[in-house]
Structure 1
């Protein structure tokens, strides 16, 4: 995608959180009518440019189409699979926002509730005040809360090869992640600007647990994964290994020209409800298609989710509630999100009516042009 925000403080070699989306009616495009040659060419180009492998699946009125390029295992040369499961990073945020909006529809929470109401004393320190921050501001990144992944110590521990090697299997509690953010001043007063912050969604996951009495993972499983029959989708918690089928995931950390490291196994609790989920391309197509097609939220809540603010610094992009609106180079709009975590960069988008969806994954976090893949499919 044209913009990558990162789990770390550096764009190259850190965990890439791809951001994407947009709005508008589906247009006639090269991929419609059953042809996806431009999409295939774009994923092959990503591999030629250095990504170990890529997998993509599109779903539209003509059916389902899938393709792969490159390898899933650099040692054996095993190719990637269209059925690969992979870590989806910040795509998790759309699932979290969906659950909170369902809870709002049930009258159990309001988007205008303060964080302090549900989590007293959690967002407090160095100018942070949970009594001035609403749930809506968490979900659209206008809270001003510091992004814990921009903390220098956290970056050293998780986004360098040596730090990752020491900490890849550590368990980190959500409150500990929020506490990292509270050591810093907020970016701005709540509601006055926009800044992407993973801390927002860690707090959002904690709110879900407080409202329901269940971990956010349980609510996603009950409300989204099971009803939509998403067999490749899971919230792993502290489980470090990947379910099968899956490919290996690779990182170069801070040096895009340096050695390649296998980072497949890790404890994703450091990403928490901001980015720990696993899925596959077919499931992501089904999820975003169902979401934009009105099958997961009542009309009022879906409109709330699609009410956007300017994503400052990201051209042609606006951010809703866990959902992004992105205008492609040809003027077509798509809705969705992107995400990355060590060794995995993904994107999943759909047209505004949910009828034409695409999900893709690169199993390397230092290269790959997801924008070109989206253009190939929708333009």
Structure 2
């Protein structure tokens, strides 16, 4: 397939070239939807071995943008009268949270979807770190299949950080519980309900929630390259806020190709595969309210502060998506998702008329790449970690 590059947007092209030439990203693609139509640009290689270029329509692992699909599915079920986001976990999964100090009678679905449930940051679970965050361990466990009960157990493997509703803390585990509730309410698989409530109504013909046994894609896709790992021999339980930089691998080591791997550990939180153009359709529907009824749309964008949570600065979190305020005061709405060797962003203005989508097939300079391109497109930065 020939690469179809759009003319113009010199600042964006310079940012993409800098991401590859100066920052070391294997590649980056950008797609913009605005009043002038669709713009597409790329830099670098989809495959550093074959030399294949990036092209429009590639399927991508959307990472945590999947959380928005989960939230939208739940809100569609609420609109159908089948649940309320004020229902508790125990209303649908009695006793499922009765471990390690959690109380499912106090955690609502709204808490799960807004990252205010009190669940700890699931990515820090020792079980996941031992299997994913060490290079040799990833190679050994990359095709492990996690059943729903495995994911829920990991989500509860450390005690609560806050009381329900007390504060924001980003946690994949809340979205796993939401997926389990979807299955209990409907009697269908979570993946099929994402398809019924979101994918088919929006006409997303190349988007799917990856079933837990699948390890790849259903169409053309870039390779994924990762080199964010702990040193061999490091025990994750020995990491602290002070010593972790010294525990990381030498950044000059070559990246690992992580393209084919199982993402069932991210059930409900990080398992949707989609191309950029369809992610733009989905996020625009969430921004404008064209898919959700007015009550559910309002609930999705009833946001909470993320300040002090060691997450993304200048943001407020809704249900599965967030609002970012740039340094010039412009507010964008959308989401980002990162996984081993891949990072995706889709954000747009609140009127749904100007949407930016970015993907880079790496995980070691992903956030700086995104911020550079946001600044090039919208004239201001603001995408950074709040540490």
Q: Normalization by structure 1: what TM-score?
A: 0.88
Matches within 5 A, 1:141-156: 141-156=115-130
- Where does residue 87 of structure 2 map in the other structure? 113
SS at match of 2:151: helix
Within the candidate set 252, 259, 270, 2:227 is matched to 252
- Bigger relative contact order, structure 1 or 2, given CA contacts below 8 A and separation 6+? 1
Instruction: Give yes or no for contact 1:329–1:375 (8 Å, CA) kept in 2.
Output: no
Structure 2 residue corresponding to 1:242, chosen from 213, 217, 224 = 217
Structure 2 matches for 1:257-276, cutoff 5 A?
257-276=252-271
Q: Is the 8 A contact 1:148 1:177 kept in 2?
A: no
Q: Secondary structure at the match of 1:364?
A: coil
Describe the superposition over 1:21-69 as per-residue Cα deviations: whole angstroms up to 9, x where unpaired.
xxxxxxxxxxxxx952222222222112111011111111110001111
Paired residue for 2:170? 196
1:344 to 342, 345, 349: 342
Q: Which residue of 2 aligns with 1:373?
A: 373
* Number of the residue aligned with 2:351: 353
Kept in 2, the 8 Å contact 1:96–1:201? The answer is yes
Matched ranges for 1:87-236 at <5 A: 87-236=61-210
Aligned mates of 2:281, 2:127 — CA distance in 1: 38
CA distance in 2, matches of 1:287, 1:122: 31
1:101-153: CA deviation from partner (whole Å, max 9, x where unpaired): 11112221111110111111111211111111000000111100123321123
In the alignment of these two chains, the number of paired residues is 346
After superposition, the C-alpha distances for 1:308-332 in whole angstroms (9 at most, x for unaligned) are 0001333210001111000112221
Structure 2 residue 279 is matched with structure 1 residue 284: yes
Question: Take 1:203 and 1:344, find their aligned partners in 2: how far apart are those partners?
Answer: 25
Deviations 1:54-102 (A, max 9, x none): 1111111110001111001111211111222110100000011011111
Using the TM superposition, name which of 241-250 and 86-95 deviates more.
241-250
Q: Which moved more, 1:175-184 or 1:119-128?
A: 175-184
Supply the RMSD in Å over aligned alpha carbons: 1.4
**CA-to-partner distance for each residue in 1:247-272, whole Å, 9 max, x for gaps?**
11111132332121111001111111
Q: Is the 8 A contact 2:127 2:154 kept in 1?
A: no
Unmatched runs of 5 consecutive residues or more in structure 1: 1-33
Residues 345-373 of structure 1: per-residue CA shift (max 9 Å, x gap): 11111111222111111001111320121
1:64 and 1:302 mapped to 2: Cα distance? 26
1:51 paired to 2:22: no
Partner of 1:12 in structure 2? none
How many angstroms does 1:199 deviate by? 0.2
For 1:208 and 1:181, the matched residues in 2 are separated by 17
Alpha carbons of structure 1 residues 146 and 138: separation in structure 2 relative to 1, 3 Å? same
Q: Please tell me whether the aligned partners of residues 90 and 104 of structure 2 are also in contact (alpha carbons under 8 angstroms).
A: yes
